Chains A and B, each alone.
Chain A
Amino acid sequence: MTCQKCKRREATRHESVRQEDGSWAEAHLCDRCAEKSEVTLLSPASMIQAFIEGATAEARRASGGAAACPSCGITYAEFRSRGRLGCPADYEVFLPDLLPLIERIHHGGTQHVGKSPASTDGRTEFERELIELRRSLAEAVQREQYEEAARLRDRIRILEEGPAGGRGRGGVEP
């Protein structure tokens, strides 16, 4: 998605901003434009213009023979005009185009760090949760934060007492 203001740089900021008519809408701006205007005012007219310009550019690119994803049929141009991909396979199909875009959106991030499905199943998550809760409980007691400790003890009890031996009767809802 390109910045609604300069229509050149990639929009990296997505926030609620006030329009000229007083209503509020989600705006998509690049860092520089967002910085320049403390409380950004976008006119509906400029948004429409940006949309038309964007759509025209996309149409040009599409007619240049953009390939469609074999799985969901979306083209890169369609994605650019709607802002939503069609299926998980698009991340591979459009990799060369998506990579620089993703890099800009995530301020340089291109490699996932953190949780992955392989590392977890329902049970181990619960066990890990229990281990963490017990550790927090010990710390709370040490710091003499008894209210906190009581709260943690309740949660541990709920998890432990579950008939499935880990899944508490009360579920995980805090």
Chain B
Amino acid sequence: MRISDLSSHGGEWLRGDGPEGDIVLSSRVRLARNLADHRFTTRAADPERREVADRVRETVMQSKFAERVFYVDLEKEDPVQGEFLVERHLISRELARAEGPRGVAFGSREAISIMVNEEDHLRIQVLQSGCQLEEAWRGARAVDGLLEAGLTFAFHPRFGYLTACPTNVGTGLRASVLLHLPALAFSNHIQQVFKAVHQLSLAVRGLFGEGTEPMGHLFQISNQTTLGRSEAEIVGAVGQIVPQIVKYERQVREDRLQRGRRALEDRVWRALGVLRHSRLISTQETLEHLSAVRLGVNVGILEGIDLRLVNDLFILSQPAHLQKLEGRPLDPGERDEVRAAFLRKRLAPGEGPAENPEASGA
């Protein structure tokens, strides 16, 4: 398989069939690890970074953490390839835009990825569909165990796993859930959620993590601290707030259906109309309307549109994916045109689940 083959559908975590999948898109656990006998990435010069990358790559490929493992040497790839992997949540924006020896290994199902020479030598990430944080943690722990058989990680009896930034020291673990909260966002109840999240010392971010804008009413909630609590406690703390937010979002949805059904229907159908008929459409506008359509599918206003398709479109309509699909670089103006044509085709009436190519991965 070539990486370009991925561009026609999203990773398996977008299936939308995980627990609470109508609201919780994905659960993610990442572990930061560093080799004990090397300087951290930002302090190491290229030859040392290359040595680290080679060593990690060798161990990662031997560990067989997935049935088929792909390794992308980002130093040799063009920037669109990097952005493409960012859009798929396989790597961070920082890694994509960095320079020098660095890469990523990931399994064919895209549930596990290992970034090499990001801020830390290794960033192990496990992504699961729906609300499955504990499952993700178990996966991350297993991968960590496999790699520890071949690599010696920097570890301190007091501070735990040592990281380039002290904000990650200890467990090196960040647990996060990606939530779709359109009803709360439409009604401004979302501020209440932010308040509760902050009171529990958790953080809110956008779709693509650090420093990114919340778009399409998608919010990522994660832990802030990594030292002094066990991995299970951290995962539990993030997981604990999810059912409450899910319940709150459902209540507001129910309330809208009871008391403002026409207005909600109008919003959803208009959004679908825009997506089905636009000739030029930006990423931002696409996500906004996809969010309303996704809500419409989940509350039963729209029938015959597959949730998986809508989930996929959140990723496939991003700039690098469109450029992959077209097979050439596109300037922003062209992208808006290509995006509009792409959405019209994928969301055309009668082009429901049958057109969805997910079967190839099953």
Query: Binding site of A, secondary structure by majority: helix, strand, loop or mixed?
Result: loop
Q: Are A15 and B111 in contact (CB under 8 A)?
A: no
- Closest Cβ of chain A to B304, distance in Å, is 25
A85 within 8 A of B: yes
| A26 and B39 in contact, given A110-B228, A121-B149, A174-B128 (Cβ under 8 angstroms) | no
| A173 and B145 in contact, given A26-B210, A86-B43 (Cβ under 8 angstroms) | no
Pull 20 A–B residue pairs with CB atoms less than 8 Å apart, ordered by A. A14-B167, A14-B210, A14-B224, A85-B40, A85-B165, A88-B36, A91-B159, A106-B170, A106-B226, A107-B224, A109-B225, A112-B159, A115-B141, A115-B231, A122-B145, A122-B148, A125-B141, A171-B67, A172-B65, A173-B112
Interface string of A85-112 (1 = CB under 8 A from B): 1111001100000100110011111111
Besides the known contacts A25-B211, A34-B198, A91-B159, 6 further A-B residue pairs in the complex with CB atoms under 8 A apart:
A16-B213, A116-B155, A122-B149, A129-B141, A129-B142, A173-B139
* Nearest-CB residue, chain A, relative to B194: A38
Chain B interface (Cβ < 8 Å from any Cβ of A)? 34, 36, 38-40, 42-43, 63-67, 69, 107-109, 111-112, 119, 126, 128, 135-136, 138-139, 141-146, 148-149, 152-162, 164-167, 169-171, 191, 194-195, 198, 201, 203-206, 210-214, 224-233
CB-defined contacts of B64 to chain A, threshold 8 Å: 167, 171
Q: Are B228 and A113 in contact (CB under 8 A)?
A: yes
CB-defined contacts of A105 to chain B, threshold 8 Å: 166-167, 225, 227
- Residue from B40, B119, B126, B212 whose CB has the most chain A CB atoms within 10 Å: B40
Q: Are B42 and A82 in contact (CB under 8 A)?
A: yes
Q: Are B155 and A117 in contact (CB under 8 A)?
A: yes
Number of contacting residues on A, CB 8 A?
58
A7 within 8 A of B: no
Q: Are A117 and B152 in contact (CB under 8 A)?
A: yes
- Closest Cβ of chain B to A109, distance in Å, is 2
A129 to B142 alpha-carbon distance, docked (Å): 7
A157 within 8 A of B: no
A85 to B159 alpha-carbon distance, docked (Å): 14
- Closest Cβ of chain A to B323, distance in Å, is 23
CB-defined contacts of A116 to chain B, threshold 8 Å: 155, 160
A115 to B166 alpha-carbon distance, docked (Å): 18
A51 within 8 A of B: no
B171: contacting residue among A16, A91, A115, CB under 8 A: A115
